[in-house]
Amino acid sequence: MRTDLRTVRLVLAEPLRISRSTMAARDAVWLTVEHDGLRGHGEAVTSVYYGLDTGTLLRLLRAVRLDRFADPESALEALPDVVPAAPPAVTAAVEAALLDLVGKRADAPVHRLLGASAPPVAATARTLGITSLAHAAAEARRLAASGFRVIKVKAGAPDPEDDVERVRVVRDAAPGVRLLLDPNGAWTFRQAEALLPRFADLGVEAVEQPLAPGDPEALAALAERSPLPVIADEDAVDVEDARRLAGRVHGVNVKLAKCGGVRAALRVAEAVEGSGTALMLGCLTASSLGLAPAVHLADRARWADLDGHLLLAHDPWSGIGGADGLVRASDRPGLGVTRADLA
């Protein structure tokens, strides 16, 4: 098997401000694996939070030796040995490229390889960053008119009252949508205790990672007394974290780049099954190529937050939808995505 790497710049339609940073663009590294005339593709994106810059991703992906395997099926089976000690984002990108190629060789979409008969469809949340009240209201109206049923509002402004007012104007502008809240760990325990009842009164359905990561016991204690569901994100990185939190928080946010790919996500799902802890499928800002593997799992989650490609000024791949509020796995072989310049 032959591999190829390409780096591209993904520019956001507008900067996304969250509690700890503001992002206007990020790099993506595309991995292409070719075997017997067919190609599989995967994507890894840079992340300051996860300590992955472009050079690091390129170095780690260049170290992946797939040419020692007879075919992509055997490489996929041996994936832990293919990328030993690699960051989860790298493992996820290699797995995605191999799944795409294996699916094309079997003439089957990835969701069918994973045991689903019909292409998953899910209502995805659409993220609104920390922004002005007028802009938040205008965006909420636009999104609701476009068909979005779920809006996720970022929180963690220096003055928490700004967060409350932003949710209030979003609720007024889009009264029919479901609301999620994500402070990205910006609040103290005392702040969260005071704020969550107010957000519950505004109709917020659930809150992601209200407390700074690193103290999952505090997050579990908050969940026990919270008037709305608490979803662990930064405190739920892998399957061991999920096991520790199962039954103690209301949800865990599974990002493939965080846990290590599709099969790692399925292990997380198995770890929390029957515990009362539900799944959220999340993502980083990425292209449709980067989002596609998670979309093939979208029917397994209570909450889908798979809008990373919708935040881009230009998505170089297509095939998972989302502009009307619904992401859809393709029934085409593999991941089912197409690069715009090759269409």
Q: Give me the active site residues, please.
A: 154, 255
Alpha carbon distance 336, 100 (integer Å): 8
Alpha carbon distance 189, 124 (integer Å): 29
Alpha carbon distance 237, 233 (integer Å): 7
Coil/strand/helix, residue 324: coil
Please state the φ and ψ torsions of residue 152, each to the nearest 5 degrees. Answer: -105, 125
Sorted by sequence, the CB contacts under 8 Å of residue 141 that are 6+ apart come out as 173, 174
3-state secondary structure 63-77: CCCCCCCCCHHHHHH
Alpha carbon distance 279, 62 (integer Å): 33
Is 42:289 a contact under the CB 8 Å cutoff?
yes
Alpha carbon distance 258, 284 (integer Å): 9
